[in-house]
Amino acid sequence: GESVGLHLPTLSVQEGDNSIINCAYSNSASDYFIWYKQESGKGPQFIIDIRSNMDKRQGQRVTVLLNKTVKHLSLQIAATQPGDSAVYFCAENGDPGTYKYIFGTGTRLKVLA
């Protein structure tokens, strides 16, 4: 498949372990954030979102943490599975009130059997 990013940071985890993917965002005024998963040859898939008035949000096997003090987001995936192997992006609405999103560079997650 096509390469999403040639020199992405890579996180390798054992199947069944928990994964933590980090993202530093750029604009302290951003008030909405989304995590996306992108598999080779596909468009980004919406995983979970969080508003700036929250510091934690949980979904099915995923948790997003937001630290506005240091402009940091993390995505935690519990009991990582082979199907979780993909590139993960964080996105911020750098221009609040708009749909103009700024994307991070992405992290490649490799799940080892």
Name the site residues for another protein (rule: CB under 8 A). 2-6, 32, 34, 36, 42-46, 49, 89, 91, 93, 95, 98-106
- Closest distance to another protein from the beta carbon of 47 (Å): 11
Between 4 and 78, CB nearer to another protein: 4
State the Cα torsion 112-25-65-12 to the nearest 10°. Answer: 10
Q: How far is the CB of 83 from another protein (least distance, A)?
A: 18
Instruction: Order the strands of the 62-67 sheet from edge to edge.
Output: 19-24, 72-77, 62-67, 56-58
User: Quick one: which of 72, 66, 38, 29 has its CA closest to 50?
Assistant: 66
Q: Smallest distance from the beta carbon of 92 to another protein, in angstroms?
A: 11
Whichever of 69 and 98 has its CB closer to another protein, that residue is 98
